[in-house]
């Protein structure tokens, strides 16, 4: 898969996308990330990429010409990229969208700055607008990094274990179950006995119940969209009963 990133600050991508999972995926040529400086496509020798908004108002707006020139160059290559404008007006990014994008061969991400991008870019030259959350960032670069990381993890071969991504939080609108490692007892807090039993089916049931309970308590918005099976409802009841016993014993729980 190829990511084409259009930005005014290409240096921001040098470190983050060369490390960890994304960096390894790039080394193995499972993912290619090409960063394009929008200023290189400006018409004038001063490389001006922004101007005052029509109608007045604070700040500056990114001009359409440099962005569109950059996109035209990319679209001459095959396959043409799916163009995404990182925008606070876009649809809210989630695991479903990440999965959707991971199936595409090539994605171009436009990183906005200042007061935003000329409306005509999103209206006529982008196929999609995506936001990573209801808060304000200085620009779209960090949002693009989040998207690249989330999508890369879903590309076949990147994680190695095909089941890894399918068992993580948000893979089915359910948070991940609690995780523990050594030491078995830390400052008086012990790992749940079930995880030491070696009984794989019992562990699976406990983990599923804990995942459902955690989702119901911490993210009711996700739980309301989830359609539990009969087994899920039984495991949730068991998890709730266990949680009540633990809290009744004075232990604060997870």
Residue 253 forms part of a structural domain: no
- Beta strand spans in the chain (E): 2-7, 32-37, 50-51, 61-62, 82-92, 106-111, 128-131, 185-186, 189-190
Do 155 and 172 share a domain, yes or no? no
* Statement to judge: residues 232 and 149 lie in one domain: no
Which residue has better confidence, 224 or 160?
224
Q: Are residues 244 and 218 in the same domain?
A: yes
pLDDT confidence of 250, banded at 50, 70, 90? low
**Which residues span the domain enclosing 129?**
2-161
Domain CATH number, residue 188: 1.10.1270.20
**Does the residue 120 lie in any domain?**
yes
Task: Indicate if 105 and 133 belong to the same structural domain.
Answer: yes
Q: 136 and 225 share a domain?
A: no
pLDDT at 96 over 80: yes
Sign of CA dihedral 127, 131, 132, 137: positive
Whether 126 and 185 share a structural domain? no
User: Is residue 174 a contact partner of residue 224, using CB atoms and an 8 Å limit?
Assistant: no
pLDDT tens for 132-181 read 999 999 999 999 999 999 999 999 999 986 545 555 555 578 999 999 99
CA distances for 129 relative to 13, 132, 144, 224, angstroms: 21, 10, 12, 26
110 and 130 Cβ atoms separated by less than 8 Å: no
Task: Specify whether 106 is located in the same domain as 153.
Answer: yes
pLDDT tens-digit map of 200-217: 999 999 999 999 999 999
Omega into 79 within 30° of 0, i.e. cis?
yes
């Amino acid at each position: 898969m190829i990511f084409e990133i259009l930005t005014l600050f290409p240096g921001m991508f040098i470190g983050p996308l060369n490390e960890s999972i994304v960096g390894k995926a790039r080394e193995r040529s499972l993912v290619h990330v090409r960063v394009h400086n929008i200023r290189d496509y400006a018409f004038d020798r001063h490389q001006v990429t922004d101007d005052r908004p029509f109608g007045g108002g604070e700040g500056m707006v990114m001009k359409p010409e440099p962005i569109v020139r950059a996109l035209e160059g990319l679209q001459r290559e095959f396959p043409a990229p799916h163009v995404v404008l990182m925008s606070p007006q876009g649809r809210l990014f989630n695991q479903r969208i990440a999965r959707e994008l991971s199936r595409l061969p090539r994605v171009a991400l436009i990183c906005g700055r200042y007061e935003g991008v000329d409306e005509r870019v999103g209206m006529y030259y982008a196929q999609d607008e995506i936001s990573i959350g209801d808060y304000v960032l200085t620009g779209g670069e960090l949002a693009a990094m989040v998207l690249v990381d989330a999508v890369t993890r879903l590309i076949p071969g990147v994680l190695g274990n095909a089941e890894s991504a399918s068992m993580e939080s948000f893979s089915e609108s359910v948070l991940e179950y609690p995780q523990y490692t050594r030491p078995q007892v830390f400052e008086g807090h012990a790992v749940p006995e079930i995880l030491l039993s070696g009984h794989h089916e019992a562990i699976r049931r406990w983990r599923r119940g804990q995942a459902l309970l955690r989702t119901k308590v911490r993210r009711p918005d996700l739980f309301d969209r989830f359609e539990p099976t009969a087994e899920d409802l039984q495991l949730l009841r068991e998890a709730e009963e266990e949680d009540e016993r633990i809290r009744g014993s004075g232990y604060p729980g997870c």
